[in-house]
Amino acid sequence: MLSWDQTPTLASMRCSRAWVEIDLEALTHNIRALKALLSPATDLMSVVKADAYGHGAVTVARTVLRAGATWLGVATVPEGVELREAGIEAPILVMGAVNDPTEVRAIAHWHLHPTLVSPKQALVFSETLATYTAHSSETDFLQALPVHLNFDTGMSRLGVRWSQAVEFARFVKQLPHLDTVSVYSHFATADSPDPTTMHLQHQRFDSAIAALRQADLLPNRLHLANSAATLTDSSLHYDMVRVGLATYGLYPAPHLSQKVALKPVLSVKARITHLKELAAGDGVSYGHRFIAKKNMRIAIVAIGYADGVPRLLSNKLKVAIAGQLVPQLGAVTMDQLMLDVSALASVQEGDIVTLLGQVGSQHLSADQWAEITSTISWEILCGFKHRLPRVLRSEATAASCSEQESSPRL
């Protein structure tokens, strides 16, 4: 609790309503466990795009680098700049396609590593760097910007078709200011129990590599694997793996959970702000999608779909209060949702509700939410909005965000 002479800042209200709790010990554990799957010569890139899948990019980046990751992956130039502005010096690969000369300048200025996906884009880079060099006092990174060539082996997203690898690499090689330091591709179906397409993409990648080697155009670094491929087979690891989801302690698919014991990093918590009695026949929330069959006690919790709890979970969500599971009732609203707490005699306003996270021996998981809402856990994690402060588990007790600490009684 804040003393009366302290200013009620945003930080002091972090756990007043709803928040995401981040467990950096779990994150460190995951990186070490993943590293143990790799040969010592294989680098681990942690993919920290989309604010580290909702976990907070800067904190995650610092932690994974301390734990043994050596590269970071982002989707956009601003994501890379955010990490650089925070003082992070590790190599950062921008995996999205960049065509805007201002972003090319930012890449060079902040020493980010761009992905090149087409000859046209390579030209934009080379020409922009030529002009920039003429007007800038910046030195080596501009002379030979390290670039990473992306080959499309079957994802049909970014990259030059694998069969045109040599032409593309040769074209980039003769352009000034560009130095090809890696080639890579991305799997479309590595999380499927049916490996047919993954094998086809793997073969295509290998055939591109063989052709590049023959043409003397092969860079030192080759990479292909996302989390699923990293967990599948070491023949997919090459010189680096690009691990997103597994960094955060989730498995891309149930059949990939045997190789390594990962720990989920993120929990979601919110407070009960109001308790009330319902009479039989009362309807709950918009559309009255729940009607009380008997008298009951409900809790109103300060979190909703504007925070990242999908509305599709309405009437299907289970959450925990003091270790006990309770059902959610009616439509999830923008900022609030309702729970049936009839079975919990001692529940009070101010109590903490766990929506995702460890509850006793079981884990309320983003995988369950994804299954109910017919999406993937990646989307659930990225869905938690900035309205939810990110609180480190190690700080949770001190910041009055944990259940051990008595919650503010309203």
Ligand X SMILES: Cc1ncc(COP(=O)(O)O)c(C=O)c1O
Least Å distance, CB 275 to ligand X, is: 40
Interface residue with ligand X among 48, 67, 95, 366 (CB under 6 A) is: 95
Interface residue with ligand X among 186, 202, 237, 271 (CB under 6 A) is: 186
Q: Does 226 bind ligand X (CB under 6 A)?
A: yes
Q: Does 366 bind ligand X (CB under 6 A)?
A: no
Beta-carbon count within 10 A of 138 CB: 14
- Sequence-distant (6+) residues with CB within 8 A of 161 are 151, 152
Rank residues 116 and 243 by Cβ distance to ligand X and give the closer one. Answer: 243
Question: How do the residues of the chain divide into helix, strand and coil, expressed in percent and rounded to 5?
Answer: 35, 25, 40
- What is the DSSP secondary structure assignment for residue 273, as one 8-state letter? E
Rank residues 259 and 311 by Cβ distance to ligand X and give the closer one. Answer: 259
What is the H or E stretch that residue 319 is in? Answer: strand 318-321
Q: Contact region for ligand X (CB under 6 A) — 214-222, 242-250, 338-346, 396-404? A: 242-250
When computed from its CA atoms, the radius of gyration of the chain, rounded to whole angstroms, is 24
Least Å distance, CB 88 to ligand X, is: 19
Q: Write out the two tokens for 114.
A: 């761009």
Q: Does 244 bind ligand X (CB under 6 A)?
A: yes
Among residues 35, 263, 286, 294, which one is catalytic?
Answer: 286
Interface residue with ligand X among 242, 269, 271, 390 (CB under 6 A) is: 242
Residue nearest to ligand X (CB): 244
Q: Is 49 a catalytic residue?
A: yes
Q: Does 256 bind ligand X (CB under 6 A)?
A: no
Tell me how far apart the alpha carbons of residues 150 and 158 are, in angstroms, rounded to a whole number: 7
Interface residue with ligand X among 231, 245, 292, 341 (CB under 6 A) is: 245
Tell me how far apart the alpha carbons of residues 353 and 19 are, in angstroms, rounded to a whole number: 11
Tell me how far apart the alpha carbons of residues 37 and 29 are, in angstroms, rounded to a whole number: 13
Interface residue with ligand X among 54, 80, 146, 252 (CB under 6 A) is: 252
Rank residues 93 and 320 by Cβ distance to ligand X and give the closer one. Answer: 93
Could you identify the residue written with the tokens 């302290």?
A: 6
Least Å distance, CB 245 to ligand X, is: 4
Tell me how far apart the alpha carbons of residues 301 and 334 are, in angstroms, rounded to a whole number: 11
Q: Does 227 bind ligand X (CB under 6 A)?
A: yes
Q: Contact region for ligand X (CB under 6 A) — 100-108, 214-222, 226-234, 359-367? A: 226-234
Give the closest residue to 172 by CA, choosing from 180, 183, 164, 162. 180
Rank residues 244 and 357 by Cβ distance to ligand X and give the closer one. Answer: 244
Among residues 35, 49, 184, 238, which one is catalytic?
Answer: 49
Residues making up the chain, counted from first to last = 410
- Strand intervals (E) in 5-91: 18-22, 43-47, 71-74
Please say whether the beta carbons of 26 and 249 come within 8 A. yes
Please say whether the beta carbons of 248 and 53 come within 8 A. yes
Interface residue with ligand X among 61, 236, 243, 337 (CB under 6 A) is: 243
Q: Is 294 a catalytic residue?
A: no
Tell me which residues touch ligand X (CB under 6 A): 47, 95, 186, 226-228, 242-245, 252
Query: Which residues belong to the active site?
Result: 49, 286
